[in-house]
Structure 1
Amino acid sequence: MTATTGTTTVSAYAAPSAKAPLERTTVPRRPVGASDVLIDIKYAGICHSDIHQARDGWGEGIFPMVPGHEIAGVVTEVGPAVTRFAVGDRVGVGCMVDSCRECVNCEAGLEQYCLEGNVGTYNALDRNGEPTYGGYSTHIVVDEAFTVRIPDGLALDVAAPLLCAGITTYSPLAHWNAGPGKKVAVVGLGGLGHMAVKIAHAMGAEVTVLSQSLRKKDDGLKLGADHYYATSDESTFEQLRASFDLIVSTVSAPLPLDKYLGLLRTDGAMVNVGAPEEPVSLNLFSVIAGRKTLAGSGIGGIQETQEMLDFCAEHGLGAEIELIDADRINEAYERVLASDVRYRFVIDASTI
């Protein structure tokens, strides 16, 4: 780190423009304010949403862009008003670093649904109008209110992906009451899907994986799935018709929603946590028949994120990861797009 005029310059990997390869650079970090913590980043997960945003898949981005919202590290400095953390604490930062803190959703612990819009960990503007830079860097300064504690029972490298993949799947599973007596289907066995399987199984639900092929069946069963079906086999949709209380779709490609909604029981819900870049179509009779719900879910609030981390530590649930040096980020992006990772790339920040 290099300090200049109150800010600190840190090493990072950034996309200089949309669709451009990421390259090593430096970015500024603000001074540690009264309520801030300075985090020495140890590991940062690579999320598919990093690729969507670095390549303008979800709309025009802010460049240069330092992706990364699955951050695990250690506190190295705290502001004078910080009460929750101390130097040496193991902490994490997820998909947001601020919100209005005053709207009804923020007051309810649903900062992810802040009515004024939360401030993303990267590809966003903070309350001062300055761009935010994410976890593909050596250090980050974050308000303690948007920092969570990583329990001692979780290694930092396997904990990093929990800050997005973990909470993104835990939140809908908890909200829709996955547990004993409930039949849950997980669509896709990737970075999000493999955590959905682990968490739903730990909650006590009967878990089925719905994947394009049976290529990862052995993995799925080892991760906690009770059943595994290929969606490329049309008989799957007939065989499993009206079988599930809850379907969690983790894929970021458009799905034939009407077919999947046919797999729900009466009053069942299909919740989408993967966000395709393209619009999807729907015949409303697919939800009218059976009083079904088609829903979405976005990450979780700070309190729920801490709850998720504690749950994962209690049940020994870390992500399945492939640890890489930072100079392999661009290669990792291509492999994610090719579904060639089991199941989350994690950057060793010491190599940035």
Structure 2
Amino acid sequence: MSFTKVAVLLFDEIPLFEASVPIAVFGERRSGLPEFDVRAVAAEGGPVRTDIGITLAAPHGLDAVDDAELVVVPTWRRPSGGPPPAEEALEALRRAHRRGATVVGLCLGTFVLAASGLLDGRRATTHWRYAPLLASMHPAVEVQPDVLYVDEGDVLTSAGSAGGIDLCLHLVRRTYGPRMANEIARSLVVPPHRAGGQAQYVDHPVPPPSTGDPLGETLDWALRHLDRELTVDMLSAHAMMSRRTFDRRFRRATGTTPAQWLLHQRVLQAQRLLETTREPVERVARSVGFASAVALRPHFRRQVGVSPTAYRETFGTAPEADVSRTV
């Protein structure tokens, strides 16, 4: 679902930085990009006090949620203390969801969505420190404590401050395409895309290939040879490590498994080719390491949300003249 009207629900005693995340992503006017109507909403009425005593005068009440296409709860006061969310705010979230709005909980905002019942029977995440508490308070929620964000279609949740930025950029990418998401990411000076399944934190960052680290060199080599069949054994052999050592180092550096990382990189490269060329989908699939377009399709849909053909129709920019040469 497309969106331009964004309601950001602010509760009392919230952290200031987390509260500003969706406003930073959607609120700035950027040349050549759609303008979002961002509404800061006092979810419990009156001025909003942050956790360090700064008072915010949110200009909107809960009635501003009623026609918003995207409703974001950017954070929440510490869930182990203080009063629960106001019932009026929870009902506003339920009404928004019933009429088809996308509802998002960032970081501790997931607790508010859980209190509304919108996460019952769904996967969700929050900051890793509070994931066990979320699971104990809301047993009907399938808590995933290690991921950056979870996209359940019309209800999405994220972990931590940076995870909130990742999820907001994911929403832009999902709705308006990678070019717009990349432009916003560039203005914020943040990475344009981190996959939702990536771990919330890793022990060591991925070393660049220029450092001479065999892991960084192997990842760079893999990215240049995605058209080949690449197995974990092949990667570990290229890095001159045992399979067990390679697996352990890879997880520490990336927060995911080698197989999951490879699959994600293949789909990302397929996106780039669909955006910039008129190559048939079958040829795109083979060029990024899939046996056929049929093999690519379920992985692409799972990661991107639409089929490769639908993605190209929306985001492809190659000249139409190229079609006659490639079909």
Q: Common fold, TM-score beyond 0.5?
A: no
Q: Relative contact order, CA 8 A, sep 6+: which one is greater? A: 1
Compare the two structures and name the one with the higher helix fraction.
2
**Alignment TM-score, normalising by the size of structure 2:** 0.29
Larger radius of gyration: 2
**Alignment TM-score, normalising by the size of structure 1:** 0.28
